[in-house]
Chains A and B, each alone.
Chain A
Amino acid sequence: MSIPRRKDLLSIAPLADEEIELVLSNAAQFKALFRRRVKKVPTLRGRHVLTLFYEPSTRTLSSFEIAASRLSADVTHFSVSTSSVVKGESILDTVETLESMQVDCIIVRHSASGVASLIARHSRASVINAGDGWHAHPTQALLDAFTLREIWPDLSGRRILIVGDLLHSRVARSTSTIFHRLGAEVAVLGPGTLIPDTRWDWLRKFRTFDEALHWQPDVIYLLRIQNERLGDDPFFPSLGEYHRHYGVTDERFARIAGEGLYLMHPGPVNRGVELVDAVMSYDRCLINQQVENGIAIRMACLHWLQPATSSS
């Protein structure tokens, strides 16, 4: 079956099941390129990808840059802090500037929800949301799904426990959505102050790590404590306290490793907060696979999208 190409990738929710399946399937073929002598293909030669990051990011930004360059696209980083944004240029003024530069795809990250869709509505170029506020981070969700699909081709009935700050996490929102769409059972664990009230009746909520482990999850997905997003509000007393209640401590790690559970984390890791050092060398810790798979998923997304046809 053929899937029409899409202009933008803003969140997981509007995607058809067939679109998710196609991206996951194509990503496997892009990943196979990494084992070749020449890892680069000429697919997007002559196309221009622009990264527009209003928030700092090293991993996601490099991942998109590598993905674009392995597809032979030209990549420009529109450095926001040094641009006229600091001089008060509005987002739409910036978009107008980018339109004049005739780029084909804009990768956007912003601290406010909805900025990527705002840009998408005003731009001929394809827009990929690389994280907007607390809202969505669709390529993270796709790479997480891809990573688990490598272990289990069918996620039906698999249990995934997401631990941490769900309130401020676009990762949690996008990733739990895709896991649920693919048939997994999803539960969350975190401080009461950081668990949002959702209308998702499929989302199970736990109060303690013991309760959550008793549920017998197959995967524990640790979210990063985002100090930069917490501000001055004391959602929990201290990082040490967080670690004791919601972190993978040495004691919990022994149990997790004993039961052979998989561990995921979107990175970057706060060692000693979400997890202890020993986890990083655990053979069922999928963090490095997530990074590698992120490049393959982003290649599949760049290959999938198509800018609006020029009206001129």
Chain B
Amino acid sequence: MPDPVADSQLLLDADGVQAAVGRLADAVADRHPETWPVFIGIERRGVPLARRVAAELARRQPGRGAPPVGSLDISLYRDDLAALVTVPRLRGSQIDFDVDGAEVVLFDDVLYTGRTIRAALDELADFGRPARVELAVLLDRGCRELPIQADFVGLRHSTRPGDYVRVRFAETDGADAVMVGQKEAVR
């Protein structure tokens, strides 16, 4: 598929993505020296991100094993269904561990308006009552519409509302990359 924005620029290449994953792993390890929290990735690209960070932690501290990873499909918790002109294909949430009393790290690829995280927190509450929920994102692009901030950030890069930002992972898209483009480029 051709890139929708002709003059989008490469913000992170594969090495850059891997370095950002490493920074997230460092930050999570610093904050959780005793026991790993459980990881929950937000569909779609929060899931490969959570798995990458979990694998990175297991590689660095083999004695502790890897944190368990679940997935959250927030489609049914969005606040904009009435505005959608196409039907979303549901992927379903898969959380095979108890979140009651657990320390949870939510993962998403990009933190933007905060609405996805709001929906994810609502859905998570229907699975149980975690002791604490933290948020990890590969890229924080700013432009918040809700009072939500990330605890762990791979990279901060300011954008304007409507600017083009895409995260690609080898698992979902064939290769690792983060692309950004100016709003004016979209016609």
Contacts and interface: CB of A to CB of B under 8 A. Distances in A.
Nearest to B81: A43
A33 B128 CA distance: 14
Interface stretch (A22-30, A183-191, A219-227, A262-270): A22-30
B91 interface: yes
B148 to A, nearest CB: 18
B156 to A, nearest CB: 31
Interface stretch (B63-71, B82-90, B171-179): B82-90
Interface footprint category on A: 20 to 34
Given A38-B126, A41-B76, A26 B81 contact: no
B76 A5 contact: no
B77 interface: yes
A37 interface: yes
Contact of A26 (B82, B86, B87, B127): B87
B87 A5 contact: yes
Contacts of B93: 32
B92 interface: yes
A36 interface: yes
Contact of B127 (A25, A36, A44): A36
Contacts, number: 56
B140 interface: no
B109 interface: no
Contact of B126 (A2, A3, A28, A36): A36
A258 interface: no
B91 A3 contact: no
A40 B86 CA distance: 23
A32 B82 CA distance: 23
Q: Which of A4, A26, A33, A37 has the most chain B CB within a 10 Å cutoff?
A: A26
B87 A37 contact: no
A2 B126 CA distance: 28
Given A36-B127, A38-B126, A5 B90 contact: no
Given A37-B126, A41-B76, A42-B77, A32 B92 contact: yes
A304 interface: yes
Given A38-B127, A303-B76, 13 more contacts: A3-B87, A4-B85, A22-B87, A26-B90, A41-B77, A41-B126, A42-B76, A43-B77, A47-B82, A71-B76, A303-B81, A303-B87, A304-B87
12 contacts: A4-B85, A4-B87, A5-B85, A36-B127, A37-B127, A38-B127, A41-B77, A42-B76, A43-B76, A44-B81, A303-B87, A306-B85
List the 3 shortest-distance A-B pairs measured between CB atoms, nearest first: A2-B86, A29-B90, A38-B126
